Chains A and B, each alone.
Chain A
């Protein structure tokens, strides 16, 4: 562990922020690009994970454990969200025989 923790000594905080910003933007792009509801859910997971990484980096940077506890709560929330969301997708598939989100445009009214 000692050698592992020494490897991060020189990484600036900015680079963690850039990495998280890029991965968050890739998640946003996935939500805009795809029409498959499951892939859209996966892009949302990608965004949640990038925020988790940033919270952990800031927690280590500040030396405060509260950030990592918050990541733990976000993981619990993501698990709940995925369970309910996938149940909704299964129900949509049962009713419309498709998980294309453009079929659901009648939800607008």
Chain B
């Protein structure tokens, strides 16, 4: 039980560091740590498939993509311009209001049953595969089309346009 609270504290701590770090590279590295704590959350919930996928897709692929783009865009020339102090105060205030509203409204709900794992092999690959390829076969295929179109779109967007040739 205390493991959950320790890991939850770490997730909140690292995610605050993500948005407050001055250097974007540090911010990405803190994001890696945040995602690692999320992986531990998944393992605690015995969602082993999601833990592995989170580890590979988020910490492997997406974060490498972020880091690669950041290295490609050489930002070391000038530091990020800071927003005015009042805007920062307003942003923190707005986010804090959202957090307080969500937490207090959920507190009023009063439902607080403990999370009990009724079916221990709920999050295993065998069980999830059966669900994924029976009920969710069509969305699965559509998501593959989505990934293909995203790949084509990214390549199309990121390629440099050729200079239009001078017509005779």
Interface residue ranges, A against B (CB under 8 Å): 1, 4-5, 7-19, 21-30, 32-36, 38-39, 41-43, 45-46, 49, 52-53, 56-57, 59-61, 63, 65-66, 68-69, 71-73, 75-84, 86-91, 93-94, 99-100, 102
Contact = CB atoms under 8 A, between A and B. Distances in A.
Contacts, number: 257
**Dominant SS among interface residues on chain A:** helix
Contact of B15 (A26, A36, A76): A26
Contacts of B153: 83-84, 87
Most chain-B Cβ atoms within 10 A of its Cβ — which of A1, A17, A25, A102?
Answer: A25
Interface of B: 1, 3-5, 8, 11-12, 15-16, 18-19, 24, 27-28, 31, 34-35, 38, 41-47, 49-50, 53-54, 57-58, 61-62, 65-66, 69-70, 72-73, 75, 80-83, 88, 90-92, 94-96, 98-99, 102-103, 106-107, 109, 111-120, 122-123, 127-128, 131-132, 135-136, 139-140, 143, 146-147, 149-151, 153-155, 157-158, 160
